[in-house]
Amino acid sequence: MIRVAIQKKLGAFTLDVSFDSGAGVTALYGVSGAGKTSIVNAIAGLMRPDAGRIELDGVTVFDSTTRIFLPPERRGIGYVFQEDRLFPHLSVRRNLTYGRRRPGENLPQPSFDSVVDLLGLAPLLERLPHRLSGGEKQRVAIGRAVLSRPRLLLMDEPLANLDTARRGEILPFLERLCRDLSLPIVYVSHAIEEITRLADTLIVLDRGTVVAAGPVPAITARLDLSPLIDRGDAGTVLVGTIESHDTRYHLTTVAFDGGRLVVPAVGGPVGAALRLRIQARDVAIATSVPTGISTLNCLPGVISELGTGRQAHRDVQVNVGVPILARLTQRSISELGLEPGRQVTVLIKSVAVEITDRSPD
78 touching another protein, by CB under 8 A? yes
Among positions 10, 14, 59, 99, the unique one binding another protein when judged by CB under 8 A:
99
Which of the stretches 93-101, 172-180, 235-243, 320-328 binds another protein when contact is defined by CB under 8 A? 93-101
Q: Describe the strand order of the beta sheet including 343-348 as a list of residue ranges.
A: 283-286, 343-348, 297-310, 313-319, 323-329
Residue numbers 7-66 binding another protein by CB under 8 A? 44, 46
Cβ atoms 129, 88 nearer than 8 A: yes
Which of the stretches 59-67, 82-90, 163-171, 192-200 binds another protein when contact is defined by CB under 8 A? 82-90
Distance separating alpha carbons of residues 309 and 290, to the nearest angstrom = 26
Q: How far is the CB of 188 from another protein (least distance, A)?
A: 15
210 touching another protein, by CB under 8 A? no
Nearer to another protein, 139 or 275 (CB): 139
Distance separating alpha carbons of residues 206 and 213, to the nearest angstrom = 12
256 touching another protein, by CB under 8 A? no
Buried b (16+ CB within 10 A) or exposed e, 214-225: eebbebbbbbeb
Q: 182, 189, 349, 209: which is closest to 281 by C-alpha? A: 349
Distance separating alpha carbons of residues 320 and 135, to the nearest angstrom = 40
Nearer to another protein, 43 or 242 (CB): 43
Alpha-carbon distances of 45 from 74, 79, 320, rounded to whole Å: 9, 11, 44
Distance separating alpha carbons of residues 280 and 232, to the nearest angstrom = 9
Q: How far is the CB of 143 from another protein (least distance, A)?
A: 12
Which of the stretches 145-153, 176-184, 216-224, 240-248 binds another protein when contact is defined by CB under 8 A? 145-153
Dihedral of CA 229/206/217/25: which sign?
positive
77 touching another protein, by CB under 8 A? yes
Nearer to another protein, 104 or 215 (CB): 104
Count of positions on this chain that bind another protein (CB under 8 A): 30
Q: 72, 78, 69, 79: which is closest to 107 by C-alpha? A: 78
Which of the stretches 21-29, 49-57, 73-81, 343-351 binds another protein when contact is defined by CB under 8 A? 73-81
What's phi and psi for 199, nearest 5 deg?
-90, 150
Nearer to another protein, 81 or 173 (CB): 81
Which of the stretches 75-83, 196-204, 279-287, 297-305 binds another protein when contact is defined by CB under 8 A? 75-83
Which stretches of the chain bind another protein, using CB under 8 A? Answer: 44, 46, 71-73, 76-79, 81, 83, 85-89, 98-99, 101-104, 128-131, 144-145, 148-149
